[in-house]
Structure 1
């Protein structure tokens, strides 16, 4: 399996050392016997579950899942996983319908629209858990001839994405970009046409950071009412790369793949570029609001008031799993895959454009994974 490589290594400020298990260190790894971890803080990996797992969902975590799958097959050589990157909305629906073993989503299950109840029913009347496995920066990518540097605030971004600002030379954009020649051409907004956790996070960011300019709410469907849609993260990035005057939101790895220019964000302390240090500074303060082993994260506070000098636009990708309700073979395999993903699988995430788990999150995640029954 060939893995894509990306330039950004997202460091997590104040996160501490990442506790990684050595890949394949146990001579029984992949033989069907339980494979021990080389880290005293990491649980053993039992490779005796069912041979093939199926999962579906977030396209934002597709490259991360490739990394995890490679690590899983190195640890459990007779096991495999098939991941279909159809988008967060589809992943939740397929999981709730019992068609996949776990779902991938850029947003936690939504109780208001019935996702939490449907997931519990799928899990034989047991709660489903949201387990954050991947952090991914979201870029505001654009293509404007002659403009290689662009600064936006949450307020100006909101007005672009809901159609209040229609041309690139609008005074509100010009005021943030002194010395930049902005063309008098229409702004072509590109958004995700499918249900997407990336869209949900982006709209939550606009709602929290725009000082009331974004009134369209959030959710997995884009509510801005302007622009043209594209399917999946890859579709958005390709549309941006091929459309003059375009702007859209897309995960960093896809922006890098398509060589998109990326806007800086000014949250009040000056323009901040999307870099390893600035993303890590924002991620470091995020807190868990879920109960027990349901590790839902609160990103809204970070979106609304990020630390000075931080880049606040990022998402957390969750794996949606049953706390109980799997058959024994499936539960063993799900636990094995997620344990490897949270340990060995973290080693190559930075090269794929993602942020490795902070150490404190990793330990909470491993505790939750081992509690799956």
Structure 2
């Protein structure tokens, strides 16, 4: 388990929701002034320590947000533990941290919404989008720098139905590629992960029936290789031979990435392609006003869209027992969804910045955070 803790360096960044993109109480000790006003990020008035946990895909964005926010408030320390979305939500619900980062919205399938509401003193929890990024299908195959694959083929690979790199299904989508007679080693997340949930959601919706499992935080197929966190997947793919995995594109490093089939074209991962998918996706039905959850359209044929995308949220309470904690949560989340915060995340993680209308709604929700 690793913890991101950065201090005092400055980073130079609806249908119902109209979501589009352009390209209660425990877990910390604080002594903060009460920040007020629209979009208030403290501007030097805040002190104390704020703890969050969750999405490892958000790690680079969280680093940028922490650095930038601490640069504005040099008496503040932000800690963020990239334990994975599932554990982040659990830690938030239990009161172990003040906020969570999650690559999937709260669900009541396992009582999460109910638990979060109880933790927040009976009020609906806040969920605002803050990080939008493509999930790259990364691979390590000597002599092959690029691959085109449909969702159906990817699904069969990760379900153990396609087991060799020179399989006819892969050859059919990569005419002229020199594909070796080599076993495929699929690498998946070992921990509960919102990235896994988004990836398996894509396979289930776009895979033409080849993926028969529900979208879940836990990877459903035995076999292959399991690794903890985004960094673990990247390491396993990098150090393997004939390996393939999935990870937030910001952490793909020097690994080769798959271009996925969208309509009749193959599209490489990009922030702009991720933005196009979110732009055509509807808001989740039945959510309260403070919840900006979205159901992503994985089957879009929009030109240039990249449907293997995650829309990652910041989760918090509307009110906190402590005025100090409320001020820190409000200030930090306000920074994350601000123009400066979004620019910092884009520079550090390659994410797509929130559309101004979406950022404005998120800012309004965050601005209302207060003490009881």
Same fold (TM over 0.5): yes
Distance 1:203 1:305 in 2: 16
Distance 1:221 1:264 in 2: 25
Q: After TM superposition, what 4+ stretches of structure 1 lie above 4 angstroms from structure 2?
A: 13-17, 31-36, 46-50
Of 342, 345, 348, the residue aligned with 2:341 is 345
Deviation sequence 1:150-208 (CA, Å, 0-9, x none)? 01111111111111111111111111111112111111000000010000000001011
2:116 is the alignment partner of 1:134: no
Of 60, 65, 69, the residue aligned with 1:68 is 65
Structure 1 residue 50 displacement after superposition: 5.8
Distance 2:308 2:204 in 1: 12
Structure 1 residue 77 displacement after superposition: 2.0
Of 273, 293, 309, the residue aligned with 1:278 is 273
2:289 is the alignment partner of 1:316: no
Q: Which runs of 5+ in 1 are unaligned?
A: 6-12, 18-30, 37-41
Structure 1 residue 325 displacement after superposition: 4.2
Distance 1:358 1:253 in 2: 20
Correspondences of 1:149-164 after superposition (within 5 Å): 149-164=146-161
2:226 aligned residue: 229
1:26 aligned residue: none
* Number of residue pairs the alignment of both structures matches: 343
Correspondences of 1:55-94 after superposition (within 5 Å): 55-94=52-91
2:282 aligned residue: 287
Structure 1 residue 49 displacement after superposition: 5.6
2:204 aligned residue: 207
Indicate how the Cα distance of structure 1 residues 309 and 342 shifts in structure 2: closer, same or farther if over 3 A, else same.
Answer: closer
2:307 is the alignment partner of 1:332: no
Deviation sequence 1:113-170 (CA, Å, 0-9, x none)? 1111111111122221221111121000001111112011111111111111111111
Structure 1 residue 365 displacement after superposition: 0.6
Deviates more, 1:319-328 or 1:141-150: 319-328
2:251 aligned residue: 254
Structure 1 residue 287 displacement after superposition: 3.4
Compute the RMSD of aligned alpha carbons. 2.3
Distance 2:271 2:363 in 1: 25
1:113 aligned residue: 110
Indicate how the Cα distance of structure 1 residues 219 and 34 shifts in structure 2: closer, same or farther if over 3 A, else same.
Answer: closer
1:104 aligned residue: 101
Distance 1:305 1:271 in 2: 13
2:189 is the alignment partner of 1:192: yes
Q: Secondary structure at the match of 2:52?
A: strand
Distance 2:33 2:116 in 1: 30
1:367 aligned residue: 364
Correspondences of 1:293-304 after superposition (within 5 Å): 293-299=290-296, 302-304=297-299
Distance 2:322 2:33 in 1: 18
Distance 1:89 1:168 in 2: 32
Deviates more, 1:326-335 or 1:192-201: 326-335
Q: Secondary structure at the match of 1:165?
A: coil
Of 23, 40, 43, the residue aligned with 1:44 is 40
Indicate how the Cα distance of structure 1 residues 116 and 277 shifts in structure 2: closer, same or farther if over 3 A, else same.
Answer: closer
1:22 aligned residue: none
Is the contact made by 1:50 and 1:332 (CA closer than 8 Å) also made in structure 2? no
Deviates more, 1:342-351 or 1:239-248: 342-351
Q: Secondary structure at the match of 1:137?
A: strand
2:260 is the alignment partner of 1:265: yes
2:228 is the alignment partner of 1:242: no
Is the contact made by 1:71 and 1:341 (CA closer than 8 Å) also made in structure 2? no
Indicate how the Cα distance of structure 1 residues 49 and 348 shifts in structure 2: closer, same or farther if over 3 A, else same.
Answer: closer
Q: Which runs of 5+ in 2 are unaligned?
A: 1-5, 12-18, 24-31
